[in-house]
Structure 1
Amino acid sequence: MTTEPSAPSLPREPLGDPHLRRLIVGQGLAAVVDALFLVWLTLYVLELSEPGIATGLVLVAVALPRAALLLPAGVLVDRIGPARVTAGASWLRVAVLLALGALVTFTSPSVTTVALLAGTLGAADAAYFPAALAMLPAVVPTGKLSRANALVQGAESGGDLVGPAVAAGAIAAVGFEATLGGITAMAAVAAVALSTLVRVVRRGEGARDAAGADAADGERLSSARALGAGLRYAWHAPVVRGMLAAVALINIAVVGPVLVGGAVLADQRLGGAGSLGVVLSGFGVGSLAGSLMAGWRPPARRGWTVVGGVAAIGAGTAGLAAVGHVVAATAVASLVGLGSAFLGVVIVATLQERVPGHLLGRVLSLVVLATVAFDPFSYVIAGLLLPYGTTTLFLVCGSTVLACAGLVAASPAIRSLR
């Protein structure tokens, strides 16, 4: 069943509607801002202090509020609407960046001050991510959700690919202050573009079916009950439960091994630590290609596509156990990136189409949580397995993901998806 709001009628061309163009520009720019700012923040903290605990403190200050507030933010999205939360979070991001820019330009801020502002930005992210995903079905017709998601995720992959070089180059050329000013300007353009969609989405929200509206009104009595309703729905819906489990397990079994194990692999077999950058670039190129492929050629049999995507990620991760040359490692990492991005577009578009509109923010907050919250566990697992060698690390983690593909294939609800 789907109860998402009706969307404006669009021409055949995916970017032919001005509302859709503003949405893609706004969310795409926001994704690029994220990539650039993370690099800027890391380099700036290194400028303030010696490498070590200070850098970790600031990055944790971003990550903790984001993870802790995601589920309450999902309730907020369903309660007051995804467009208003997206716009509000976007302007909060701009305000934090402006405040940070003023501090950097006119004072010498401490690491603690930077960490506090970074934490506020993490809180804004917690609201922005599920709201931005939930806003897409209110603007984009069902048949074009895959393309819209592909464009947004493609912008994110492109930002991750070129962000480090662009941010580092800009800092070297014009300094920290001017670079942060440029990032803030892009964030402001994104906020303006997304704010213009508030009225469009509010008109669409009036078309929700009566049952969905009644359920939403009933949940207004208690935020805790509203959150519980979202969690119960996700648990009892086989498609949602299976996809969330797959996303979480892939994140646990892949992120740590690729980053931590990849660094060791590069040093031991690929000619030195510098080759890790080449391998990770291959992952980024694969991610960009996977996003665009999923959008321009949406699969006819989504269920088996999800199975294939999980299997490709598992096979690629296990394949890293056998590589002995940087070219082979880059090709395998590209496969993992392609499968991850393709799978991400398919899963998000599927949930946007099938989850009732009054629960969409909560379900998508779970998707984001499954994507970002398990990184520490993944690093711990990589650390525990590394003493047994990179071959064991990649084989164990890749086999785990392949087993997950088998479990997904065993689910009739997912296999039958079209």
Structure 2
Amino acid sequence: MTDHEATTATTERPVLTGFPVLPERPAHRDRNVLRWLGAYTASMLGDNIYYLALSWAAVQAGTPAQAGLVTALSALPRALLMLGGGVLADRFGPRKVVISSDAVRCVTVLAVAVLLLTASPGLWPLVLLSLVFGTVDAVFMPAVGALPARITGPGQLTRVQGLRGLAIRFAGVVGAPLGGLGVALGGPATAFGLAGLLIAVSVPLLVRVRIADLPGDGRTAGRTPWRDLKDGLSYIRNHRVLAPLVIALALGDLGFVGPLNIGLTLLAEERGWGASGMGWVLAGVGAGAGMAALLLAVRGRLPHAGIVMPVSILTGSAAIAALPHAPDVVAAAGVAVLLGLLTGLSGALCGALLQTQSDPAYLGRVSSVAGIVSLGLAPLGMPLSAAAIGVWGTGPVFAVSAAVCGLGGVLALCVRDLRQVQLPH
């Protein structure tokens, strides 16, 4: 299939298996999308509570260094196995994979909750839980990325990305206090139990979500998983829009993650803002990203996405460079709001373009590559940023990070096929 045929295929209206073809409804008024959104929100809430409970339990059971190792362990299987997770999503269908993944996560978390409630087993169950969670995440994340195109029409995918962004922000704001309340009431076991129950809520909701058959589904029949993996990587590499889009996403994330994680902590220490000041700046980033998600959820589509996305990256990179030069914490929080708005907008548009430009048969594998870029490659910038700030200070390192991020926007603007791409109506 040529790139033009693949793009055309993704703009066709999906045919719902066992259901009549219905007019495309706005995503925020589509019960099918709202069921998916409820399931996704419950699962994300459970995730946020789980990570808080895991870190608290690990600190209680071991040394700070051991606790850090336990909480970081899940990143290893997630990075190593995510490409395989994309293959599974395309071979077996994303809903089956998401439901199975959530069921495994639920059972595992509840089992550890019961174990902690009845005994004091030390670190070993937490190590096992972290590894299992990371392994299941490697399968879960690509399948989640492949679902939106199967639950609504292509014209609603930008709105779905906005709704998904709102769910992530809501889970981040509400999940931590809920986890803290669980720990306060009954220790880590109670928090783990609450996380498991919230994840469990997502399973029956997902079972009720109608899934569309898209052109190209079932094309992996008769192939080996290894052949599927190679085909998926080759498909992305040769695609005139997806290949530069993934590279732009990688550069943008690589330049963003370091400064906004470890870099911001060191900046707050350097400027004397303290933990509360750092919290206000992070809150500004979150508020800006939430506004971007709300804008896309309400508006549903932005014209000239191939231009708006890289321009947002470039403007956001300028905000990264400006952050260490803010005269006080109030100004820094204002810059952070702008940064969150622009990066939230570019991230959601990247997600929508990945969905609409991918051949449906490759959506899981495309999502897995994008996930590795964001969750595997980008975090490598954190230790590099920390070491560089120790030598040169925050200003130069934030400027270099901004240049790396901006390079993604420049690349996107220079590639004609990506620059001219439009989201479907």
What is the TM-score normalised by the length of structure 2? 0.91
CA deviation string 1:111-144 (max 9, x = no partner): 1221111211111111111111211111111111
Q: How far 1:83 sits from its partner (Å)?
A: 1.0
Partner Cα distance (1:214, 1:134) in 2: 14
Displacement of 1:13: 4.5
Pick aligned residue for 2:78 from 66, 74, 83: 66
Question: What do residues 354-381 of structure 1 show as CA deviations (whole Å, max 9, x unaligned)?
Answer: 2111111101111111110024421122
Aligned to 2:354: 351
Counterpart of 1:134 in structure 2 is 146
Asked if the contact 1:251/1:378 (under 8 Å) is kept, the reply is no
SS of residue paired to 2:325? coil
Q: Note if 1:413 corresponds to 2:422.
A: no
Say if 1:149 and 1:345, in contact at 8 Å, map to a contact too.
Answer: yes
Offset at 1:398? 0.8
Matching of residue 231 in structure 1 with residue 233 in structure 2: yes
Q: Which amino acid aligns with 1:6?
A: V
- The one-letter code of the counterpart of 1:388 is W
Quote the offset at 1:392 in angstroms.
Answer: 0.8
In 2, distance between residues paired with 1:376 and 1:12? 38
Q: Identify the residue that residue 198 of structure 2 maps to in structure 1.
A: 186
Q: SS of the residue aligned with 2:35?
A: helix
What residue number does 1:98 align with?
A: 110
Distance in 2 (CA, whole Å) between partners of 1:3 and 1:77 is 19
1:32 aligns with 2:45: yes
Task: Return the alpha-carbon distance in structure 1 between the equivalents of residues 274 and 219 of structure 2.
Answer: 58
Counterparts in 2 of 1:237-248, with a 5 A limit?
237-248=239-250
- SS of 1:324's equivalent in the other structure is coil
* 1:172-198 Cα shifts (integer Å, max 9, x gaps): 24432222222211111111211223x
Matches within 5 A, 1:1-20: 1-4=7-10, 5-7=14-16, 9=22, 12-20=25-33
* RMSD between superposed Cα atoms in Å: 1.9
Count of residues in correspondence between the two structures:
407
Q: Is the 8 A contact 1:36 1:183 kept in 2?
A: yes
CA shift in 2, pair 1:172/1:154, >3 Å: same
Distance change (3 Å), C-alpha of 1:382 and 1:33: same
Shift of 1:271: 2.7
- Per the alignment, residue 256 of structure 1 pairs with 258
Tell me: CA distance 1:10–1:91, structure 2 relative to 1, closer, same or farther (3 Å): farther
Report if the CA contact (8 A) 1:266-1:274 is conserved: no
Separation (CA, whole Å) in 2 of partners of 1:15 and 1:271:
40
Provide structure 2 residue ranges, at least 5 long, that are not aligned to the other structure. Answer: 1-6
Taking the aligned partners of 2:147 and 2:156, their CA distance within structure 1 comes to 14
Which residue does the alignment assign to 2:4? none
The whole-number CA distance in structure 1 between the counterparts of 2:228 and 2:234 is 10
Equivalence map 1:203-222=2 (5 Å):
204-205=212-213, 208-209=214-215, 212=216, 215-217=219-221, 220-222=222-224
CA distance in 1, matches of 2:229, 2:206: 26
Structure 2 partner of 1:319: 322
- 1:284-338: per-residue Cα shift (whole Å, max 9, x none)? 1112112121222221110111112211321111111311311111122222222
**166-175 vs 256-265, which moves further:** 166-175
How far apart, CA to CA, are the structure 1 residues paired with 2:205 and 2:141?
16
AA partner of residue 3 (structure 1):
A
Counterpart pick for 1:277 among 267, 276, 279: 279
1:295/1:345 contact within 8 Å kept: no
Q: 2:24·2:152 contact (CA, 8 Å) conserved in 1?
A: no
